[in-house]
Structures are given as C-alpha cells and as structure tokens.
Amino acid sequence: MEYIKMAEGLKYSRVVLGFWRLLDWNLTTDGLIRYLEECLDIGITTMDHADIYGNYTVEEKFGEALKKRPDLRNKMQIISKCGIIYKSETARVKYYDYSRKHIKEQVEKSLRYMGIDCLDTLLLHRPSPFMDPEEISRAFEELRKEGKVRTFGVSNFLPDEFRLLKSYLTVPLITNQVELSPLRMGNLENGVINLCMEERIHPMLWSPLAGGRIFTGQGEEEIRLRETLEVIREELGAEDIDEAAFAWLFSHPAGLIPITGSGEIGLAERPVKALKYRLTPEQWFMVWTAVKGHKVP
C-alpha cells in the first residue's frame, strides 16, 4: 500500500474504503469487524463516511463495530461529510445547511454514532449557493479548538467555490472529494484537479469505475474504453481491466486517491494491486482517446 501525506501528522491510504453502500453489504456487526480487519491487513486504513449515508444510519452501524472493537479506531483515519438534508417528515425539500449550528450538531452526531472522540477530516458534502463562509469558518475553528475535528475539506466544489470558501478560513482545506473516472473526466477539464495541484492538495475520487459502467456500459465510448483497457491490461500484466482503469488514475501527477465502495475483499484488493502499475503517457492518452472518440488537439 502507498500512503499519502494530507496534512502534518495525517496520512491517508492511497485507496480509501467508502461506506455509502454499507447496508447493501448485508454484514452483521461481527462480519463488518472481520471485513475491516481484512481491509486493514491489505493496507486500506482510510474510511469515508457521510452523515446521510444509509438515510442517516450507516455511521451508527459502523460505530457498532468500533464499539465492539475499539482497538480498530487507532488503525484508521475516519472521514465524514455533512451539509445535505434529505426531504422527510421534518424537511419539505432536500436542501443544504452550512450554518455553524448544523455543522457542529452533525459532527457531534457522527462522533456519538461511531463512538469516537474526533474525526480525522470533515468535508462539506456539496457546494451551496446559500452558504455563509463566515459561519463555516467559525464552525471549523471551534471544532478544531474543541479537538473534535483534526482537518477540513470539501466535496464536489468547483474552483470558484473552493477559492471563495478558502478566502474566509483560518484552517486549510486539505482535499476536494470529486467524481472522476475514465468515463467521467469533467473534473480534469473544468479546473478542479488543476486547482488541487496548485494548492498542493490531493483529491479524493468517488465512483472511480463510473458505477461499474466500464464493465457493463453498451455505449460506443464504453465499448471503445473496454477494448483499450484490455490492450493495456495485457501490456501491464494485470488481471482485469479494472486494474488498468485504477492504474490510469494512479498515474496522474495529482496524486489522486480513489474510493472503493465494495464490501467484498476480493474487489477491494483490485485497486491495491493496481498501485504497482504506472501507465506511460502513450497508454494514458490511449484511454483518453478511446473515451473522447478523437485524438488530442
């Protein structure tokens, strides 16, 4: 496993385990403990959560495992996100709340549900056109001083949104968690990844295999991509095309950190195995060309 420095005294594993679909894994508490041990054994130490996952239930289920095995906490870096409120009996629409009060309340809930004292990183889940950066700055300052959050970041922020928030903060933003895969390259083209490199921070990537479309998609770009990944897989000596797809991400100079959302250790191992491969510039642009359907300018 590779580890990447995110802040002073904080490193993430280069592959992160995401818990968005934890409830779909159908694991008992003991089964989840065993799975966490298996992931830790292969070097995946960074765990990605959000308050809304599983309709606000995933952090509590994860916490049941940690409360039964508190020794596992010190082997992990735990990330959570806040800010989204789903439509419900108490909310007439889905909306975003980045008030100081809401951010602090959600952190308290995350800590209580998971049975931990501190989050390693808190992310704002989505940019909001209604956010007050001064409120956010106060919340971040207080959470850090109280020892409840070590570091802070954002998720799905465009460059102007990132710069706006940063201009008000007294704490650094250490990451931007965004969508990126060979089939979804928008954040390579809209300045998001470039800004992360400018800021010397490492982006986290959700849906790095495009939700499985690299295997199942029947569009022209998906078919071309599979054919190209198969050529590269053979050249690398990899086992399957997903390793070639992860290698495409790992080869980028931004130090990208993909999130795997699998509850099966065999699948979680795939991006870890891909760490040993690096694509040549030619191979990297073979993937780009296959998806775009034309040569570079």
| DSSP per-residue string spanning 88-157 | SSS-SS-EE---HHHHHHHHHHHHHHHT-S-EEEEEE-S--TT--HHHHHHHHHHHHHTTSEEEEEEES-
Q: Which of 53, 96, 98, 277 is catalytic?
A: 53
HEC profile of 217-228: CCCHHHHHHHHH
Q: Residue 86: how many CB atoms within 10 A of its CB?
A: 12
Question: Crossing angle, helix 220-236 and helix 281-292, to 10 degrees?
Answer: 160
DSSP-assigned beta bridge partners for residue 79: 48, 121
53 annotated active-site: yes
Name the residue among 197, 261, 241, 222 with its Cα closest to residue 39: 261
As annotated, the active-site residues are 53
